[in-house]
Structure 1
Amino acid sequence: MDTTTAMIIEDYPLMPQVRLKNGLTICRLVNGMWQVSGAHGDIEPNKAVSVMQKYTDLGYTTFDMADIYGPAEVIFGKFYRGHCSRRNAPVQAMTKMVPSPGPMTWSVVESAVSKSMSRMQVKRLDCIQFHWWDYTDKRYLDALHHLREMQRNGRIRELSLTNFDTERLEEITAKGIEISTNQVQYSIIDQRPAQGMTKFCRMNGIKLLTYGTLCGGLLTDHYLGKPEPKGRKDLCTASLWKYKQMINSWGGWKLFQELLATLREIADEHGVTIANVATRWVLCDSAVASVIIGCRFGVEGANHATENLRSVSTGWALTEENVSAINKITSKSNNLLKSIGDCGAEYR
């Protein structure tokens, strides 16, 4: 570790971690790798690997990816091989199985698991998060039963879901399939998880992994006081485009600016950023294990790792007055549960 990195670690807090149901310990801030899929611009793999090592030096040792995120698993595998050769601190790799509709036989599921393991260059999957596109096709239960058997055989440590709603989460749990986490969209803008899912998760020892917490970068100081971005020129990444549509559904740009101004006042009170406040707000929910923050590894100006560590610092906390001020703004917004549906409904 170089001197600069050592100085940074002294100036910023150590990364807190949380233990999942079957013993996997992950960071409360997770490196999201959707941004290397190609929908956010080109990523140079060798440069990405180098930056990933710098993230781990800062304590960001947990990575989230998927079999459909372009070269994400392959890039992680290259990083992991080099990381292990240096005998550095352990890293945790969470991937997703996102199959096309069709029969979920043992061979189909086993093949997907083996492919991810091979690409990631690991002997066991720390966590596999299963996604399904169509709830009317009940073969997702077949897939989960096979994954559960692979977990018993030691090939998978944590069996998890991504973008499943509360109704299906209850159904799967009732079938005796133990779920460790469910990855869902959760932010000050999108509070759907808090309207039912978090209660069920607390009762059943299930944790949430959240994404979209910073709305693809819109929920940051960069957009305070800025005119409304429109079109592909302003919304030049998949994340910006996606979460701008979410803000439109939530209440529009004018109300969003009111929220940013309020968050800026709270941030000033604590000496942090809007992104820190937005992240801390989600982490305050006891059902939440971690916030996944998208990383454009190797892209100039896209590294906010040291700044984001303030989100988990023990040196400050949101007060009741802070939360009330946020609620005052969000109470003016539309109810996304009613207009979109429960978590993950936007994908179905």
Structure 2
Amino acid sequence: MSTVPKVRLSGGLEICRVLNGMWQVSGAHGVVDNAKAVEAMQAYADAGLTTFDMADIYGPAEDIFGQFNKKYKSSGSDVPLQGLTKFVPRTGPMDRKVVEKALQRSMSRMQVDSLDCVQFHWWDYRDKRYLDALGHLSDLQQEGVIRELALTNFDTQRMEEITNRGIRISSNQVQYSLIDQRPAAKMEQFCLANNIQLLTYGTLAGGLLSERYLGKTEPTSRAELYTASLSKYKNMINSWGGWSLFQDLLVALETAARRHDCSVASVATRYVLDRPAVGGVIVGCRLGVAGAGQHISDSLRSCSPDLKLTAEDHAAIEAVTRRSRDLMALIGDCGDEYRS
């Protein structure tokens, strides 16, 4: 097993700095065979990548984790898994019973007695009952039901509002990549001042930030953008600066990758891992489909202490990203793309 670097969240939970993302089993990336998905998780755990990120709305993700967790524990391994899930309710009354019921469902599916980390998401800031939900979650954390209380796709303004109420937040899961650097505008600074880690997704733009797309014509058809991730992040590239500028970025990344004898994906991941306040990067795993696990070596390389991007690497990459549009001005703060 490799020594994967860890980060300790404010409640004491240690997680890997590269997390295995399970959005890919939600159904939006094609049909998933649950049994094969459970089987495929072993290779990640064997590699030392023991932290899995999921949500109550990611189809069978919690069930798949639960089945693997049971199997993994029975194998006698003394290296624990970490299961980070999300509570993503529809807006509405948020009394304690509603919150408890949701957490009990997650615990049952994940086959655990308490939850390592609950990352709360709310769809509509105009409905202030997210504060009620967070109050109950904070109480349940004090009672030991939750170890870490965290957020998903909350903006800086709302994070400040929540922390000012005395609710301790461990992390916020947001999009952060060479394409989308909005967290650097103001969220990063707030997180550093309040001991909050950023857990980032979209860091590889659904796989677009790879050698596979270097020198290729722009994908536009559904057949080419065949997963929810590819479609989502291609739209982000369009907003950021378009395919031609993206090709310039891939050239800069490939030059750095050759210099460090690694992949474009490893360079793109390392760049974000090195950003202030970033605790970990979530790399999606297409568990249960052909090729699952093929990116494990890239993930291990990206968090290896041997991979150190140089001033020359940064200068070449930033010469491209400086020419992009300002997504903070265009879209708003992190998570604003999910809200009207």
Query: Which range, TM-score by smaller chain?
Result: over 0.9
On the 8 A contact 2:26/2:60 being kept in 1, the answer is: yes
Deviations 1:133-187 (A, max 9, x none): 0001100000000000000000000000000000000000000000000000000
Give me the whole-angstrom Cα distance separating, in 2, the residues matched to 1:241 and 1:316: 30
Give me the whole-angstrom Cα distance separating, in 1, the residues matched to 2:69 and 2:182: 35
Q: Please show how residues 214-233 of structure 1 align to structure 2 within 5 Å.
A: 214-233=204-223
Aligned twin of 2:102: 112
Give me the whole-angstrom Cα distance separating, in 1, the residues matched to 2:230 and 2:308: 28
Give me the whole-angstrom Cα distance separating, in 2, the residues matched to 1:56 and 1:286: 27
Aligned twin of 2:7: 18
Find the partner of 1:209 among 176, 184, 199: 199
Aligned twin of 1:78: 67
SS of structure 1 residue aligned to 2:178: coil
Q: Please show how residues 1-348 of structure 1 align to structure 2 within 5 Å.
A: 9=1, 13-88=2-77, 89-303=79-293, 304-348=295-339
**Cα displacement (A) at 1:286:** 2.9
Give me the whole-angstrom Cα distance separating, in 2, the residues matched to 1:155 and 1:57: 28
Give me the whole-angstrom Cα distance separating, in 1, the residues matched to 2:142 and 2:289: 40
**Cα displacement (A) at 1:336:** 0.3
**Cα displacement (A) at 1:101:** 1.0
Give me the whole-angstrom Cα distance separating, in 1, the residues matched to 2:43 and 2:301: 17
Give me the whole-angstrom Cα distance separating, in 2, the residues matched to 1:307 and 1:258: 22
TM-score, length-normalised on structure 1? 0.96
Which segments of 5 or more consecutive residues in structure 2 lack a partner in the other structure?
none
On the 8 A contact 2:149/2:169 being kept in 1, the answer is: yes
**Cα displacement (A) at 1:301:** 2.1
Give me the whole-angstrom Cα distance separating, in 2, the residues matched to 1:162 and 1:35: 17
Runs (4+) off by over 2 Å: none
SS of structure 1 residue aligned to 2:97: helix
**Cα displacement (A) at 1:50:** 1.0
Give me the whole-angstrom Cα distance separating, in 1, the residues matched to 2:134 and 2:302: 34
Number of residue equivalences? 337
Q: Which amino acid aligns with 2:29?
A: H
**Cα displacement (A) at 1:244:** 0.2
SS of structure 2 residue aligned to 1:310: helix
SS of structure 2 residue aligned to 1:160: strand
Q: CA RMSD in A?
A: 0.8
**Cα displacement (A) at 1:87:** 1.9
Deviations 1:289-333 (A, max 9, x none): 100000011211242112321101122300112111111101110
Q: Which amino acid aligns with 2:305?
A: T
Give me the whole-angstrom Cα distance separating, in 1, the residues matched to 2:296 and 2:125: 37
Give me the whole-angstrom Cα distance separating, in 1, the residues matched to 2:43 and 2:312: 37
Deviations 1:36-92 (A, max 9, x none): 000001111111111101210100100000000000001111111111111211000
Which segments of 5 or more consecutive residues in structure 1 lack a partner in the other structure?
1-8
SS of structure 2 residue aligned to 1:159: strand
Give me the whole-angstrom Cα distance separating, in 1, the residues matched to 2:289 and 2:120: 29
**Cα displacement (A) at 1:285:** 1.2
Once the two structures are overlaid, the 10-residue window that deviates more, 307-316 or 70-79, is: 307-316
